[in-house]
Structures are given as structure tokens and as C-alpha cells.
Structure 1
Amino acid sequence: MQDPILTIESLDMDARGVGHLDNEDGSPGKVIFVEGALPGERVRFETLRKKKNWEQGRMTELVKASSLRVEPLCPHFDHCGGCSMQHLEPSAQVAMKQRVLEDNLWHLSKVKPDQVMRPLYGPTWGYRFRARLSVRYVAKKGKVLVGFHEKKSSYVADMEDCKILPPHVARMLMPLRDLVRSLSIFEQMPQIEVAVGENVTALVLRIMAPLTPDDEVLLKAFADQWQIQWWLQPKGPDTAAPYYPLDQELSYSLPEFGIRMPFKPVDFTQVNHHINRVLVHKALRLLEVQPSDRVADLFCGLGNFTLPLATQAREVVGIEGSTALTERALANARVNGVAHKTSFSTRNLFEVTVDDLIALGKFDRMLIDPPRDGAMALSLALGELKEKRPDLLPKRIVYVSCSPSTLARDAGVLTHVAGYTLSKAGVVNMFPHTSHVESMAVFDLP
């Protein structure tokens, strides 16, 4: 029996084609999600997973192709899980992400932006300056694999190249296989984390057993040959420490603001340094900071926004949940000569209350850049602030998001409860060829 034909209507947030199998009376029936299919296409598919109201399948034949379909640049695209959208023309990828953002805002919170901003673009290849590569010795193949996981699998993809890693890192994939296999602990090294700075590339080697003297010789020779810095991580991320050479420091710059940001390879920094510069520029332009303003940077991390803000505002208060991070952010402020205009404090922003906001005082502007969990407690606290001390509400909020669903949820609270207007929203293509949606939103008091 031949596989059924399905017309693809849209893409979901995992870049799977979405269609409906018609019922016998011709009405739309069960929802079908098909890996590798694009909107407007007609495809045959086989079912991999079946539930009462939906099925998940894999395309077995492309009956009618979309005009937006392109040939993936990477030969490993079909099995490597690092990318999900290389088969879709890049500008169409961004359009899909914009639609995901708008759909989330409307369906989750019944909010529409007054203006949809133009997407922020950057390089589409060689952009991934941060990556976590898995390492596995596969006895059946007699070789070590270094790379991303396979699609929907815990296995490591057998990849010899990577088009989204910087070329100098991609060229190391095969030599890294040989290096790991030559070490005494080749079966006790599950991960290599990559962090690329402007002048240094660091590789963090997760080791679950001590190195031998011979291992150390091999690692140092590799570092010298490929011009990289080794870090060793025997346990959790906090145990990562530089190993060889010791006279190097990772950093990135925001030249528009005269800022240089030192960082560690296990720190959170943006994956795409090119887009990060555009993101910081756009966020500060949207905030419209005046020299007399007092600004809050919430979830400030190492000061990616705090330090540039300090070049424009009277005072910037950075708040983060980790004392180690706020201490590092203050150190970065000192390095850049803006410590006199910044202060940092440690608070759990996932449990922040209206009393906390009142204690912090009046902010003219606020920037929020939370992790995927969003800023629900903060949004609710701002809603309570409207009732208790409306004079303390910041006039404008710029919200930088890495999750359209939590942004939409928080936007509902900020608009329907705290009284803000969603003035603008748009996507930032931080992760080309993936379904990851980064976005920005501007909230104003009427």
C-alpha cells in the first residue's frame, strides 16, 4: 500500500511541515507533522508516531516541491541535529520565525504590536561562536565521533564538516577525532565545549579521569598546532579552568560603544557575535536613553547591555541571580571605565516582588533579557506596581527574548495588567537554519 499524500499548510516551531488528513466527508481531519516538508508542498509520508488527534511522520516522497525549497549546503543536514531549516530559503526562514512570534503573541495573550519591526539579520554561515560538541567512542565503528547529536537521537552525528561553525573550528573536527582516540582516557571524555573570542579560541575538555603525562604532551602539541587554548573541566561547569596556554583571555567587543568584554568559555554569551552587536545597538536605540536617565538592566549577566547603557545614561543598575556573575560584571565595568555609572546587585528575579521594585526606586527605562523561562514574576510585580506606586513604573521597557511563548505570556501581563502598550515587536535571526526564535519587544506607558 502506497504512503498517503498530504498537502503541507504551515511549519511548526520545530520546522516540521503541518497538514491535515481529510476525513471521509472532506472536512479537515487529524493533524500531521512531517519532518522535512515545507508549506505549499505535496508529500507522501510514513507515520513514526500516532496519537488520537495527531501523527508525526517522515517524508518519503516529494510529490510537489515549494519554490522556497533549496539544496542544503551541508552534506550532513539529513542526519545531524545541529540545523533543521537548511532546506528552506534563508529569508523565508526569517519570515516563518516572524509568523511564529506574531502567532504566539496573539494566540497566547491576545496582543498585537502596533508596529512589526524589520527582522535583524547577520551572517547565515560560520556564525556559531559557541557550541557544545558531544564526544563518543563507537566500538562497532572503531572510531571516535565529535559533533552534534543526530536528529531526534542521543547518538552523535558522524560529521566531517560543519557549515555553521567558524571555518577554523570546522577544520578541527576530524583532527579532534584523532586526538581524542590517541589519549588514554578517550572513553571518559563526553564533551568538548567551543568558545570563540576575537583573538582566542578556547576548547573546554570535559574529563572524567586524570590525564597522563603523555596525554598532556599531545594536548599541548595540538594547542600549538591549531592555535587554540585548552580548558579542563573535571566536574561541573564551575570546575572549568584554563590549562594551556595560560597567557590568553577570551573577549568580544562592542566597538560602537568602546566596550571590550572578557568572558570565560563556560559563561553565557551570545552564540552569534555579529548579531549581538546589532542586537545591542538596536536595543539601546529602542530604549531612547537620555543622559539624565536611570536605567535597569534585568538578567544582566556579564553586562552585555549594562556597559553600553552606561555610556549613555546617568546610572545603570544591573541585576542578576548569581553573585559570581554580578562580581564579574562589575569587574568588566571597571575594565571599561564605566564602574562609576553602574551598580550591580544579586536578586532572584524569578521570585521578585513589588516590594523589591519599590525598594529599587524609580527607573526611567528598563531592559529585560531573561532566559527561556521568561520574566513572569517581574511582569506580575510591575502589574502590582501600577496599583501601589504607578509613579515608579518605567516609561519604556525593551524585552529581549529567546522564547516567543514566554515573551507572549509576559506580554499579556505587561499589557493587560501593568497597563503597557506593545508598541513594537520583531525577530532577531540569531540562529540561522534552526527553528530557534530570538525576538525583541517594546512596551510603552500610554
Structure 2
Amino acid sequence: MNQITEVSITDLSHDGRGVAHVNGKTLFVAGALPGETARVRIVKRSRHFDEAKVEELLQRSPERIAPRCPHFGGCSGCTLQHLPPAAQIAAKQRVLAENFERIGKVAPLRWLEPLTAEPWGYRRKGRLSVKWVAKKDKALVGFREDNPRFVADLSECHTLLPAIGLRLAELSRLVGSLTAREQIAQIEIAAGDQCVALTFRHLQPLVDSDRAALVDFAKAHEIAILLQSGGPDSVVPLWPEQVSLSFRIPDFDIDIAFRPLDFIQVNGGMNLRMIARALELLELNASDHVLDLFCGLGNFTLPIARRAGEVVGVEGEAALVARSRENAQANGIGNVEFFAADLAADQADAPWARRSYHKLLLDPPRSGAAAVLEYLPRKGCDRIVYVSCHPGSLARDAGTLVNRHGFTLEAAGVMDMFPHTAHVESIALFVR
């Protein structure tokens, strides 16, 4: 351990680390880029690969740029700030292509142009870890370090929306001033188009002076603050008394209301472009019956309903289904139904699954849609748009759709939902 060796970086791994080989063994090097030569310190050994960090760059890649964030390398939130955005996108597309080939044994007939949006200040949803460190006499507020046991000591974050990302030092001082500073576990960020909300998770009831300090901070920065003493149902507004969060999808004249702990797409600008591309690929018409699985708040379902004849949305979390129905009613959309169902289980006999659909939209979690593809799509469904947050599960499911269900992988492409991270968001079109 801590051995120092000189290596040449030949590739970039799926998580954004440089790849080298020493005596036939793979070495992953944090902070290194293909084409570079470096002296590296080995920090972890395992049976099949080792891990290292750069001690000294001997030859730099011509693509390397200076990271914008002063905490780059210490915070695990971003791993690709030393690579230009265009090169990041190219690397993510290579990851997707390699996964298709290696896991699914498929390849798209054509590659879609990558979708990009503003690369900084884009993150409207997130969870900040909080830890009071007595030795530093300071509350750490930020994301985790590479070692997830430690919270990175951040003063700023340039991927978070500026209203929060440039106030991390102020949040640190705020938490440090509270008598409950050791009882604040995390701060959840949620921003709508008109309001930014912070939900403070506290492990014990807050005294009046702490509540007053939080209210003063909220008023000074025009930020809503909520308190969470237990599970999701325990969230209550502190200031103001009513907190309303929503975002608009202007191309479809839709407003989607949500609550602070609800899942929404992290990148608002990219979300609008993603919706537009998904509906373009679906090629909707007024006679289409469409099924939207893993529908959440209706992010895709409600825009689809503006173009299709009938839409069914299915989601595993009952609370999100209830809010989807509320959003449909608030937007005057009547040609949509929502159902709550565990999509990781066999739903073949569910009434909604036995209906006929012309088109299907899938937007599953990282685990993918393998369980769904055991009983769907049925005959008559000839077009599927699959939105993915994990290239491995997409590639696996693509193999199933192509080799078992007779679809062609017509097109695929990446979407930069999380600039400066190694996270690969993608979209694929399957046609039968």
C-alpha cells in the first residue's frame, strides 16, 4: 500500500477514472486522463484491480482543463471537471456503446445527437450531508468524499443552483450556531421555478432559539425551510407556512407541482429537452394508446396526453400516483389514468397490463425494467422509448427487446443530465 509507480493512462473508466495496466493488472487512477503519464500512489489493492491517485503528472493530456471548483478531487460529487464538456459527452457515449456491445450484444442503427444544457448551476435537487466536527469547531455541509464515511469540507458548489451552491459556507455557519448542531443529519434541496426549499432532517426536536435562527436565515435569503423529524410524512413547513413547489413544461402548457422530498429530474433545462426528444421519438398521434411505466409525477405522462388519444401511467410509489392525478386535474387533462403498482414484481394480470397499447415509454430506476419485460410489451405495441439512468441495465434490456421480442434498436444517444460527473443518462428507441 502507498507504493508509488509510473504509469501510462490508456483509457477512461465508466466512473471517470483513468485506466492503466501494471504487470498485467488493471489500475484505476483518480484524476488521470487518457494519454497522460503520471507518478501515482496505490491506495487500495484487490484481487482483480488496484486503485491509485495521481502524485505527479509527467505528461498532460491536451484535453485537460483547470477544474472550476476549488474542491475538485476532494469531493466525490464531480469527477470530470478536468475534462471539457464536449469530451465528457464523447466519453459517456463510448460507455453506452461499449455496454450495448458487451452486455446486450446489440448496436443502434443510428446515434442521436447528444442532448446538452447549461453545464453549471443546473442541480435543482440534491441531498447535502451534515456533520458537526468538534475538532474543527465547524459543521461540514456538503457531499461525501471518495471515502463515504467523510463529509467533504465545502465552501461552494458550482453544479448546485447558485442560490444554494454559493451559500454552503453560510449554511455551515448556520448549522454550527444551532444548539442542535450535532442532531442535523442532512439538508434536502428542492427547487421549483419560483421557490427554493431546504428540508432540515433533525434527530431531536428543535428548541425555539434554533427554530428562530432557521427562520431568520430563510427570510434573509428568501428560501423556504421545512423540518423533517422522521420519515417522509413528517416533513412540515417552518417558514413560510405554505410552501408551493412546481416547474413548468412550456411546450405542452403543463405545470407540475411536487413536494420537497418527491423525485424530480435533477436538471431542469435537460428535463425539458429530454421530454421533447422522447415525444419526438414516440411519433404520437391522436389515436395512440400509450403506456408510461415508472411514471413518477407524470413528467412524461402528461405531455404525452397532450398528443395521444389515451395514456396510462404506472408508478410504484402511491404518494406520487396521487400527485400525478392531482397534476392531471390541475392541468385539465382528462385522457390519462394512473395506477400504483410494484413494477419489480409480476404485474402480468393487472388490469392495466392486460390492455392493448400502441406505444410504450419506460423510465426505470438504475435496476432497469427486466421484470416488466417478462410480460410486456404485448402484440400491437410497435414502438418503445426507453429513458435510462444506467447504461448497463439499458444494454441488458435492449438485448431482451431485440432478441426475445423482435424489436430493432433503431436509435440511441446520451443526455448530459449530470455534467461533470460520470453519470450516463441515455435514451433509446426500439421499433418492431
TM-score with structure 2 length normalisation? 0.97
- Cα distance, 1:330 vs. partner? 0.5
Inter-partner Cα distance in structure 2 for 1:19 and 1:216: 52
Q: Is the 8 A contact 1:129 1:194 kept in 2?
A: yes
Query: 1:71-220 residue pairs with structure 2 within 5 A?
Result: 71-220=66-215
Q: Which 5+ residue runs of structure 1 have no aligned equivalent?
A: 24-28
Letter of the structure 2 residue corresponding to residue 373 of structure 1: S
Query: Aligned equivalents of 2:15 and 2:317: distance in 1?
Result: 31
Cross-structure match for 2:251: 256
Per-residue CA deviation, residues 262-283 of structure 1 (Å, 9 max, x unaligned), is 1111000000000000000000
What is the 5 A alignment of 1:423-442?
Answer: 423-442=410-429
SS of residue matched to 1:34 = strand
2: CA distance between counterparts of 1:276 and 1:17? 30
SS of equivalent residue, structure 1 residue 382: coil
Deviations 1:117-157 (A, max 9, x none): 11100111101111111111111111111111112332111
The answer as to 2:355 corresponding to 1:361 is yes
Residue 8 of structure 1 corresponds to which residue in structure 2? Answer: 9
- Secondary structure of the residue aligned to 2:328 is helix
What are the equivalent positions in structure 2 for 1:224-373 lying under 5 Å apart? Answer: 224-338=219-333, 340-356=334-350, 359-373=353-367
Q: Is the contact between residue 3 and residue 41 of structure 2 (CA under 8 Å) also seen in structure 1?
A: no
Quote the offset at 1:241 in angstroms: 2.3
CA shift digits 1:275-301 (9 cap, x unpaired) = 000000000011001111111110000
Q: Which moved more, 1:179-188 or 1:424-433?
A: 179-188
Instruction: Say whether the 8 Å CA contact 2:130–2:187 is kept in structure 1.
Output: yes
Percentage identity across paired residues of the two chains: 46
**Structure 1 324/63 Cα, relative in aligned 2: closer, same or farther at 3 Å?**
same
Whole-Å separation in 1 of the counterparts to 2:87 and 2:147: 24
Q: In the aligned structure 2, how far is the partner of 1:109 from the partner of 1:358?
A: 29
- Report if aligned partners of 1:132, 1:192 keep a CA contact under 8 Å in 2: yes
Deviation at residue 215 of structure 1 after TM alignment? 1.6
Over the aligned positions, Cα root-mean-square deviation in angstroms equals 1.5
Amino acid at match of 1:105: F
1:399 aligns with 2:394: no
1:245-270 CA-partner distances (Å, limit 9, x unpaired): 02330111100000001111100000
Could you tell me how far apart the structure 2 residues matched to 1:13 and 1:136 are?
A: 30
C-alpha change, 1:318 and 1:174, in structure 2 (3 Å) is same
**Structure 1 residues 177-186 or 102-111, which shifts more?**
177-186
Separation of aligned partners in 2, 1:245 and 1:95: 44
Contact 1:127–1:273 (8 Å) recurs in 2: yes
2-structure distance, mates of 1:357, 1:44: 61
2:5–2:39 Cα contact (<8 Å) kept: yes
Distance in 2 of aligned mates of 1:346 and 1:172: 38
Identify if the C-alpha distance between structure 1 residues 180 and 162 changes in structure 2 by more than 3 Å, giving closer, same or farther. same
Q: Which moved more, 1:96-105 or 1:322-331?
A: 322-331
Distance 1:367 1:81 in 2: 32
Note the C-alpha offset of 1:170: 2.0
* Alignment pair present for 1:56 and 2:43: no
The counterpart of 1:223, out of the listed 218, 223, 245, is 218
Determine the structure 2 residue equivalent to 1:68: 63
| Distance in 1 of aligned mates of 2:214 and 2:70 | 30
Instruction: Name which of 25, 33, 36 aligns with 1:38.
Output: 33
Q: Distance in 2 between matches of 1:166 and 1:346?
A: 32
More off after superposition, 400-409 vs 340-349: 340-349
Q: Which residue of 1 aligns with 2:396?
A: 409
Q: Secondary structure at the match of 1:311?
A: helix
Equivalent position SS for 1:187: helix
Please tell me whether residue 379 in structure 1 is matched to residue 362 in structure 2: no
Tell me the CA shift for residue 360 of structure 1: 3.1
Give the Cα separation in 1 of the matches to 2:39 and 2:296: 47
**What secondary structure sits across from 2:139 in the alignment?**
strand
Query: What CA distance in whole angstroms lies between the structure 1 residues aligned with 2:3 and 2:183?
Result: 47
Structure 1 letter corresponding to 2:210: D
Aligned equivalents of 1:359, 1:318: Cα separation in 2: 11
Q: What's the CA shift string for 1:65-114, capped at 9, x where partnerless?
A: 11110000011102111111101111101100000001001100100000
Contact in 1 for aligned 2:184/2:202 (Cα 8 Å): yes
d(CA) in 2 for partners of 1:51, 1:215? 47
Residue 353 of structure 1: CA displacement? 4.4
Instruction: Calculate the TM-score normalised by the size of structure 1.
Output: 0.94
* Partner in structure 2 of residue 26 of structure 1: none
For the 8 Å contact 1:380–1:413, the answer to whether it is kept is no
- Equivalent-residue separation in structure 2 for 1:238 and 1:248 (angstroms): 15
The superposition leaves residues 316-362 of structure 1 with CA deviations (integer Å, 9 ceiling, x where unpaired) of 10011122211110000001110x11001112111134444885311
Partners of 2:352 and 2:399 lie apart in 1 by 22
